[in-house]
């Protein structure tokens, strides 16, 4: 968070932001928001002057309390309410009972991409409005990643193992202090970019550093600066505050553009010369070239556009993965050691690797049930997003919810309170407790076969649906429905390798208490400055 606020140390920037905040406050005081008539608000006292504006600003420090109140008062009773988000765009929060209604709406009625475009300031933050306006990179990932990810496991493991060995060390005698979040922000970009750009670029520190900085630029521009900028000033302010975004993109492009040009030339030569011997790399660059060629998307075959597509992919993959595994590590090592979570994960990983001849494979990782459960449980209990499956209303006439009889006008954000669904005791017993093996225990303890035949198909399906990559109306970290995160197949393997290699090869001092997460507006952030002490386990060798 300090990195986001660093630009404010410049007096000129600080004064500019202060003026924008003052103007934003004035604008909001004078403005009214069209919202569904008859739908109750949470946190709004209509008896007071400027009630909506008061609630909007107060929501920043009251997200957890107000969402809890709205969930108990409305959501659990199947009713919709309005949440006055600090962004100035109140949100229509539907109950879980209406999730399917939301998912059934076509994209021209309720749009995911338009919601992301607004929230991430797509006009400015990603260097080109076309990147989020037409998220072709998501189309590429949907088409290729699920069926290619198995082939990528050995390469991913190389990056994970080398990163740990280099940053956590191989000394079996001395303990080392590790700043978890910052350390993982070094590790994870390597694994992500092994998939995106391949070797050797995925190990180029200058490239990786500027990718990480670009991601921070996006967050700063969309949540710190442009959020408070009046719409009519955004064409000016947007171009100024995103100068760092363009700078850090240019620093990555000096590596990616030559690589992409060479790749395009090889693709063309192979098409023209059947005797040309060239092994096509299995990475995102190749996937976009192949798909855009087959679909005759000439606009997506330019080196510049392919290079720019890498920016939103890195932004999405690096930070969400880092936040997730940071939370997971603190959740595990803050539990009572007698629960045996680390030992259980270590035993499972060691056993399966022996069964698979020491090879890390997609099939083997699919059997890492305890590891899978430990990560899924952390994503449930230590979620960093509080609302999810958010959509933007697109038709001029709005959208009608016939079940309750309200109509949301064009431009309204409609979504779900995912935080309280995932902390509901009627869904998850003892929901505030991190139980690493909550989802794997039934799989290991139950006897689901008789003479090799499935005893209870429904029960087996239920257990299968508690895997990390499975979304549902009670588990939302990857979204839900047709717009669920297409990268979750890669992320799940990456996270399991990270956690398994960590516990197999290192001793980690347990923590008496978990460093608290920090609520910052609508986000519940992990302890970014907290450290742990680690030491290489005896009997392990450098990967």
> Which amino acids are annotated as binding site, given as ranges?
485
Q: Which two structure tokens, joined as six digits, stand for 122? A: 């797509």
User: SS3 string of 340-356?
Assistant: CHHHHHHHHHHHHHHHC
Alpha-carbon span 365 to 528, nearest angstrom: 28
Q: Are 394 and 108 in contact (CB under 8 A)?
A: yes
Q: Are 243 and 225 in contact (CB under 8 A)?
A: no
Q: Are 227 and 87 in contact (CB under 8 A)?
A: yes
Alpha-carbon span 16 to 6, nearest angstrom: 14
- Tell me if the bond preceding 180 is cis, omega within 30° of 0: no
Name residue 92's beta-bridge partners.
Answer: 82, 414
Q: How many helices (H) and strands (E) does the chain have?
A: 21, 14
Q: Are 250 and 311 in contact (CB under 8 A)?
A: no
Alpha-carbon span 62 to 520, nearest angstrom: 10
Q: Which uninterrupted H or E stretch holds 520?
A: strand 518-520
| DSSP result, 461-492 | HHHHTTSTT--BTTB-TT--GGGS-TTHHHHH
Q: Which uninterrupted H or E stretch holds 177?
A: strand 176-179
The DSSP secondary-structure symbol of 38 reads T
Cβ atoms < 10 Å from Cβ of 41:
18
Q: What residues form the annotated binding site for heme?
A: 485
Alpha-carbon separation of residue 99 from 86, 92, 328, 371, 392 (angstroms) = 24, 13, 27, 29, 15
SS3 380: helix
């Amino acid at each position: 968070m300090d990195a986001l606020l660093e630009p404010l140390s410049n007096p000129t920037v600080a004064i500019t932001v202060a003026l924008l905040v003052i103007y934003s406050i004035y604008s909001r005081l004078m403005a009214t928001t069209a919202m569904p008539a008859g739908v109750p608000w949470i946190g709004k006292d209509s008896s007071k002057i400027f009630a909506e504006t008061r609630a909007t600003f107060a929501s920043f420090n009251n997200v957890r309390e107000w969402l809890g109140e709205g969930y108990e008062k409305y959501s659990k009773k199947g009713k919709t309410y309005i949440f006055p988000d600090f962004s100035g765009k109140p949100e229509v929060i539907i109950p879980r009972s209406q999730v399917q209604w939301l998912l059934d709406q076509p994209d021209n009625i309720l749009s995911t991409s338009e919601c992301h475009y607004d929230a991430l300031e797509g006009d400015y933050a990603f260097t080109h409005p076309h990147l989020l306006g037409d998220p072709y990179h998501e189309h590429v990932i949907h088409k290729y990643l699920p069926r290619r990810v198995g082939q990528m496991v050995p390469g991913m493991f190389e990056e994970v193992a080398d990163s740990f060995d280099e940053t956590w060390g191989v000394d079996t005698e001395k303990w080392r202090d590790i700043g978890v979040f910052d350390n993982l922000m070094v590790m994870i970009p390597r694994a992500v970019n092994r998939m995106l750009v391949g070797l050797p670029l995925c190990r180029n520190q200058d490239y990786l550093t500027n990718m990480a900085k670009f991601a921070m630029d996006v967050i700063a521009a969309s949540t710190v600066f442009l959020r408070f900028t009046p719409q009519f000033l955004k064409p000016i302010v947007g171009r100024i505050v995103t100068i760092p975004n363009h700078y850090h993109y240019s620093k990555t492009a000096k590596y990616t553009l030559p690589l992409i040009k060479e790749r395009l030339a090889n693709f063309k030569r192979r098409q023209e010369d059947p005797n040309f011997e060239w092994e096509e790399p299995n990475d995102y660059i190749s996937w976009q070239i192949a798909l855009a060629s087959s679909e005759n998307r000439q606009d997506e075959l330019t080196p510049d556009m392919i290079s720019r597509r890498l920016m939103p992919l890195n932004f999405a993959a690096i930070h969400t993965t880092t936040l997730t595994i940071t939370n997971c590590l603190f959740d595990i090592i803050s539990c009572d050691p007698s629960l045996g979570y680390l030992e259980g994960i270590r035993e499972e990983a060691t056993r399966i690797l022996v069964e698979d001849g020491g090879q890390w494979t997609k099939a083997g990782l699919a059997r890492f049930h305890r590891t899978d459960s430990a990560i899924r449980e952390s994503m449930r209990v230590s979620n960093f997003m509080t609302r999810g499956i958010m959509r933007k209303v697109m038709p001029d006439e709005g959208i009608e919810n016939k079940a309750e009889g309200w109509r949301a006008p064009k431009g309204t954000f409609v979504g779900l309170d995912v935080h309280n669904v995932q902390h509901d005791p009627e869904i998850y017993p003892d929901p505030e407790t991190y139980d690493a093996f909550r989802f794997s225990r039934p799989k290991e303890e139950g006897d689901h076969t008789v003479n090799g035949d499935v005893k209870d198909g429904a029960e087996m399906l239920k257990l299968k649906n508690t895997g990390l990559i499975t979304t549902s109306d009670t588990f939302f970290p990857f979204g839900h429905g047709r717009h669920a995160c297409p990268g979750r197949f890669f992320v799940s393997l990456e996270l399991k390798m990270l956690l398994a290699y960590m516990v197999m090869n290192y001793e980690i001092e347990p923590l008496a208490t978990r460093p608290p997460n920090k609520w910052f507006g609508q986000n519940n952030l992990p302890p970014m400055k907290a450290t742990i002490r680690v030491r290489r386990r005896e009997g392990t060798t450098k990967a």
